[in-house]
Amino acid sequence: MESETVETDHAVNEATDLRVAMARIHRQLRVRSRSDVTPSQFSALARVEQDGPLRLGALAELEGCTAATMSRIVDGLEQRSLIERVTDPLDGRAALVRLSPRGGALLLELRARASDALRRALSALSVLDQTAIRRATPALMRLSDALQSTDRGASGGNG
C-alpha cells in the first residue's frame, strides 16, 4: 500500500514537472515570436488554417470552448483582418470563418520565429539532451493527441 502511494506521488510529480516545463517552453517561444496574438487567437488561426473554412460553432467545438468565447476570439481576429467571414455555400443563412491572406502570412512568420528560437535553444544543449528530445517528440505528439481526444470527450465543446 505504501509503495503504491510513493508510485502515485512520483507520477504526480513527473506530470507536474512535465506540465511546468511545457508551459515555460511555450511562454518563452511566445515571447520570442514578438507577437501580440494571444495563445487562443493563435490556436484559432491555426485551426482555421488546418480545418477551415468552418462555422463558428464547429471551430468552438474543435478548440474546446463555448461559441460565445470563440465569437470574441474571431471578432478580434476579424478586426485585425486575420480572419474573414464568408457565406456558407451550403446554407446562405450561415457564415463560415476562413483564414485571410494576412492571417496566413502572420502564421508563417510566427512559426518561423518560434522554430528559429527553438532551433537555437536546442543547439545550445548537449548532444545527449538533443537526442533525448528528438526521441521523445513522437511520444509528446501522441500525448497531445490523447489530451485533445480526452478534452473533446469530457467537454463536449462546452468548455
Residue 4 has pLDDT above 90, yes or no: no
How far are the Cα atoms of 6, 32, 38, 81, 141 from residue 146, in angstroms, in the given order? 25, 28, 24, 33, 9
Greatest pairwise CA separation for the chain in angstroms: 63
Residues 140-156: pLDDT tens digits? 999 988 987 765 555 44
Neighbours of 107 (CB within 10 A): 18
For 16, counting Cβ atoms within 10 Å of its Cβ (0-12 exposed, 13-18 middle, 19+ buried), the class is: exposed
The strand ranges marked E within the chain are 83-88, 91-99
Residues 33-87: pLDDT tens digits? 888 899 899 999 999 999 989 999 999 999 989 999 999 999 999 999 999 999 9
pTM of the model: 0.75
Residues 103-124: pLDDT tens digits? 999 999 999 999 999 999 999 9
